[in-house]
Amino acid sequence: MEKVINHNHNGLDSSKIKVYNVIPTYEMTSTQLNKYLARPAIQGEEFNVYVTDTSETAKYIMVNNEWSKVGSPTLLGAEASDTLQYSLDTERTVNGNVGGICKSIKLNVAGVVRVSWETRSKVGFTGQSGYLQLNGATIQTPSNTTSYQTLTIDVAVSFGDILALSGEYVGSANYEKYFRNFRIYYTPTDINNTTLTDTSL
């Protein structure tokens, strides 16, 4: 940050009329960020940061001798709505002798999104569970039924989170789980690239 200093103009000392302040942007770990926030700073100093180990993007400004986190400029502040953003509609199967994720969407927004999907079990075999997962942790388990059921849930997400549909491994090929119409709804529109995977297992 450029400080206001005296300079020589036409042989006379005078204060600068204007100071152009370029807000820096850094990429650092959480540990590095904590060390950076502990250093001396002047009032009004500000910077943007992308924290690599948490995928957080934020802005800090020094106010009243304290660093204040004033926003996340890169994140879009998603709100759950009926506006469709992404869909993986093709029916996919997860074999009970394999298990695993058949559909996933990596999000480039933070906030709350609406997730909808349909699932069913193989006719005659209802013992295999299908899950909605957030970063590998199960957040929704539907009841086992051989007819398609539609499930909808609003989920709080952070930048880089992965929502996925997964079938349980049960050690038998007879137990299959079917998934289709995996859809994500929110506003505003996502202007970033989002990673999608869609395959049977």
Mean pLDDT of 183-192: 73
Give me the pLDDT at residue 181, please: 96
Answer whether 52's CB lies under 8 Å from 159's CB.
no
Q: What is the mean pLDDT of the chain?
A: 77
Give me the pLDDT at residue 22, please: 59
Give me the pLDDT at residue 194, please: 60
Tens digits of residue pLDDT in 130-172: 888 888 888 888 777 888 999 999 998 877 789 999 988 777 7
For strands 46-51 and 137-140, give the pairing.
Answer: unpaired
Domains of the chain listed by start with CATH number: 6-71 (no CATH), 79-198 (2.60.120.260)
Tens digits of residue pLDDT in 75-125: 456 888 998 988 999 999 998 888 889 999 988 777 889 999 999 988 777
For strands 25-28 and 46-51, give the pairing.
Answer: parallel
Distance CA 61, CA 42 (A): 10
Residue 64 pLDDT grade (very low, low, confident, very high; cuts 50, 70, 90): confident
Give me the pLDDT at residue 180, please: 95
**What is the DSSP secondary structure assignment for residue 75, as one 8-state letter?**
S
Give me the pLDDT at residue 151, please: 92
Lookup: tokens for 129: 């569970």
Tens digits of residue pLDDT in 21-48: 457 778 888 899 999 999 888 888 888 8
